[in-house]
Amino acid sequence: MTSFIKKIEKISQVATWCSGLLLFLAAIMIAFEVIMRKAFAYSIGGADELSSYALAISCTWGFSYTLLRKSHIRIDILYSRLPRAGRSFLDIGAHLLLGIYIVTLSYYAFFVVKTSIIKHSAANTPLATPLWIPQGIWFTGLLWFGFTIFIVLAGTIYHRLNNEHDEANRLSGISTLDDEIKETADLGNKTGADT
């Protein structure tokens, strides 16, 4: 189970790097477009359209690593006051509802892609991008997110049934601010310039 989740985490991490790279390239493209437009009155065109797709695609492909690193916001007023056994019930409920949301969204997102394919929809722009391409990649990212939620949910239930509360919590609990600070503080130490 654990090694399987490790694999999913690795794939999600690579997907996150690619998503970040995509946004980075979008930023560079937009920046050059602005500079060219203002300095040389020359427009490459399409930078804003392509980068909008980059946003949609990078989001859905970034969701699952964000989930595995527990960065999707949950309120812990009640949670932090419960014993570990009680927490995993809330974890299961939380991931179940998130899962239902993403399955529902994927279902209707599928119709968006399907309609674009059937109608040969193209963007109403000079590029006339066939919409099913960006929509398809966006949709696959959603599916991967849904799959990740399912695995996290199954893993939590599995650990819960075996009374392995620590493992369950590590998989799906709310991240403590301590973990988060440790990461950033290390970073501040590591990358600060010498004074």
**Residues 101 to 130: which contact another protein by CB under 8 A?**
101, 104-105, 107-112
Taking alpha carbons only, the member of 34, 59, 73 closest to residue 140 is 59
Q: Which of 11, 36, 46, 66 is close enough to bind another protein by CB under 8 A?
A: 66
- The upper half-sphere exposure of residue 122, i.e. CA atoms within 13 Å in the direction of its Cβ, equals 6
Closest contact distance (angstroms) between CB of 76 and another protein is 6
Question: With binding defined as CB under 8 A, does residue 133 bind another protein?
Answer: no
Question: With binding defined as CB under 8 A, does residue 4 bind another protein?
Answer: no
Rounded Cα gap, residues 22 and 129, in angstroms: 18
45-64 residues in contact with another protein (CB under 8 A) are 48, 51-56, 58-60, 62-63
9-48 residues in contact with another protein (CB under 8 A) are 13, 16-17, 19-21, 23-24, 26-31, 33-35, 38, 48
Taking alpha carbons only, the member of 8, 17, 16, 15 closest to residue 148 is 8
According to DSSP, the residues that pair with 130 across neighbouring strands are 122
